[in-house]
Structure 1
Amino acid sequence: MAYNTKEKAIKKLIIKGVSNALSYSDYRLLMDQLVLRSGTTGLEQTQMYMDYTKLNQQRMKRLDKTIKLPEDVKVKMVKISNKMTWLVLSESWCGDAAQTLPVINKLAEINPNISLKIIQRDEHLELMQYFLTKGSRSIPKLLAIDATTNRILWTWGPRPSEAAQLADDYKKEHGELTPQFKEELQVWYNRDKGKNTVSDLMHLLSLE
Structure 2
Amino acid sequence: MELKNIINAALNQSMSYAEYMELMESLTLTGKASGPKQTEALVNYTKLNKQRMTRLVKTISLDDAARKKVAKVNAPQTWLIITESWCGDAAQSLPLIEKLAAANELINTRYVLRDENLELMDQFLFRGGRSIPKLIMLDDSFEVIDTWGPRPQAAQMLFDNWKKEETPRPYSEFSVELQKWYLQDKGQSTFEEISEKLVDCCV
- SS of the residue corresponding to residue 29 of structure 1 reads helix
> What pairs up with 1:86-105 in 2 under 5 angstroms?
86-105=79-98
Cα gap change, 1:177 to 1:133, in 2 (>3 Å)? farther
Q: CA RMSD in A?
A: 1.6
In structure 2, how many angstroms separate the alpha carbons of the residues matched to 1:14 and 1:71? Answer: 32
Of the candidates 151, 154, 163, which is equivalent to residue 171 of structure 1?
Answer: 163
Q: 1:57 deviation in Å?
A: 0.3
1:141 aligns with 2:129: no
Of the candidates 178, 181, 191, which is equivalent to residue 188 of structure 1?
Answer: 181
> What pairs up with 1:1-208 in 2 under 5 angstroms?
9-148=2-141, 150-174=142-166, 176=168, 178-179=170-171, 180-206=173-199
- SS of the residue corresponding to residue 205 of structure 1 reads helix
User: How many pairs align?
Assistant: 200
In structure 1, how many angstroms separate the alpha carbons of the residues matched to 2:55 and 2:85? Answer: 15
Cα gap change, 1:200 to 1:72, in 2 (>3 Å)? closer
Q: What amino acid is aligned across from residue 160 of structure 1 in structure 2? A: P
Cα gap change, 1:176 to 1:206, in 2 (>3 Å)? farther
Q: What amino acid is aligned across from residue 39 of structure 2 in structure 1? A: T
Q: TM-score, normalised by structure 1?
A: 0.91
Match in the other structure for 1:3: none
User: Which one has more relative contact order, counting CA pairs under 8 Å at least 6 apart?
Assistant: 2
Unaligned runs of 5+ in 1: 1-7
Match in the other structure for 1:5: none
Q: 1:177 deviation in Å?
A: 6.5
Question: What is the percentage of aligned positions where both structures have the same residue?
Answer: 44
Residues 32 and 57, structure 1, Cα contact 8 Å, conserved in 2: yes
Q: 1:92 deviation in Å?
A: 0.3
